[in-house]
Structure 1
């Protein structure tokens, strides 16, 4: 019975040692068993693994596809144009042992930094040999494939595989964009000034043609009016002559009415005459007409 208290600590210690020698790797991970910094075991399949307790440690890495978004990068193109480029990459740890040797204890964080540098260099290399029309094309797949090929080749030393690269933004730098906007605005203003000048010239031609036509129409109208007035006066004179021949008194009466119409105009302010003036004596006026014969 005295041995029972002694066995309990032994069992506990044995259980602790046994548990410390076990580790679990799920389907999303890869694991390395290290001993004094050296790789002793690689565990890439999900399940239960074993290691030497206290002497060995387990380091796990993500086996999923990881993403990386680069910071805005200014790139000089072949035609000396400058663009600000953003890229998105997807990568995965391919060789976990090589990955450990390349990144050490920095792991995935250090790998992200190195892949970011590799991706920026690949973007500069590929876009430096193309023009702005290629970058702004609707189909940039060939460019992105070239960037991926360069990045994949350089990232192979890290034990990773660059699966895909996508250009998410290709814009002009702000100062270039402002200059381009100002240049476009000046060009539009110049075109607007040209259009206004052409419009004013056309309007002047139309106005001159209308004025000339108005003068011609007015002249023609005056000419026709003079002709009609002359014909009317001639007709009136003929009628007056005919009336005079038929009835001299009626002709005298109309002459007196014309005399009144010419002398009693609205512009005349006053008329001073004698009461026995011929002006108001129709009989004497007729006698004067007869005397003129």
Structure 2
């Protein structure tokens, strides 16, 4: 009975020692082995590993990208404008031993170390840049310089900074109304300039249209005068031919035209003597002859 108890106790001790000697490293971890606080080795290969039980300790660090969100801080830009900048930093632990020696076993400790580094780098770089550069394509260059400065200081903690970005940039509350007023004034100025340019273009278009209209009317009038002159010339030629061919008929036709123009209205008054040449054709008109009456039929003789 005692042998059985001793055997079971020995087996339990062996299992306990084995459990204390074996540990697993995940793919997302890197492990630091220390013995009585002194560094022994670093394990970055995932799988099952062995350590000396009871005297060696295992400290695991995340090997993935970690985030640090910096609170919003007021920065003074190169053009003396104030801006509240909210940034975030992505980093990874590349040297677990240096990280353990400078920061400690807790990963949260690095965030307290990164806070002043990120803040000072942002202030140094943004102090030399105007607002338009931050809002334009130069923002990539600016953030690259900030990341470089943060990375140089973060290496002494065994950390590599992968990226630093400005998440949000706002104006302070006391500047917002003034900026909005300036923006409104600028938009009104642009609108006035646009309206003035539109009025100028409209006036130019109207002037061109009026000029074209005047030219077209002048050309039309000139063409009409040419056609009218040609028509009158042709009429004169026809009248001349008619006069030369039969002067008496031409004179008669012209007199008839004058009669029609004078007597058609009914309101004209003329004081002329009957012997006037104007009534020549009235005087020369032959008198109308009345037909002779039919002879009377003789009455029949009484029978």
Do both proteins adopt the same fold according to a TM-score greater than 0.5, normalized to the shorter chain?
yes
Decide whether the 8 Å contact of 1:148 with 1:165 is kept in 2: yes
Alignment of 1:31 with 2:32, yes or no, is: yes
Contact conserved, 2:89 with 2:161, CA < 8 A, in 1?
no
Tell me the TM-score normalized by structure 2.
0.61
Compute the TM-score of the two structures, normalised by the length of structure 1.
0.63
Which residue of structure 2 aligns with residue 90 of structure 1?
Answer: 91
**1:262-288 deviation per Cα after TM superposition (whole angstroms, max 9, x unaligned):** 7558xx8xxxxxxxxxxxxxxx98343
Moved more, 159-168 or 67-76: 67-76
Count of aligned residue pairs for this structure pair: 261
The residue number in structure 2 matching 1:278 is none
Which residue is 1:66 aligned to? 65
Structure 2 equivalent of residue 14 of structure 1: 13
Name 1:286's counterpart in structure 2: 281
Look at both structures and tell me which one has the larger radius of gyration over its CA atoms. Answer: 2
Correspondence 1:219-234 to 2 at 5 A: 220-221=222-223, 223-224=225-226, 227-228=229-230, 231=233, 234=236
* Structure 2 unaligned blocks of 5 or more: 267-278, 287-303
Structure 1: stretches of 5+ with no match in the other structure: 269-283
- Provide the alpha-carbon RMSD of the alignment: 4.6
3-state SS of the aligned residue for 2:108? helix
Q: How far is the alpha carbon of 1:12 from its aligned partner?
A: 3.8
> Alpha-carbon deviation of 1:91?
2.6
Q: Quick check: 2:89–2:163 contact (8 Å CA) kept in 1?
A: yes
Per-residue deviation, 1:216: 3.3
| Match in the other structure for 1:164 | 162
1:163–1:225 Cα change, 3 Å: closer
Contact 1:33 1:57 in 2 (8 A): yes
Distance 1:149 1:220, change over 3 A: closer
SS in 2 for 1:52: coil
1:93·1:99 contact (CA, 8 Å) conserved in 2?
no
On the 8 A contact 1:33/1:51 being kept in 2, the answer is: no
Q: Which residue of 2 aligns with 1:196?
A: 198
Deviates most, 183-192 or 172-181: 172-181
Q: CA deviation at 1:31?
A: 2.7
Deviation per CA, 1:98-152, whole angstroms, max 9, x where unpaired?
5366355xx22342454355324322322222345654446945x4554234323
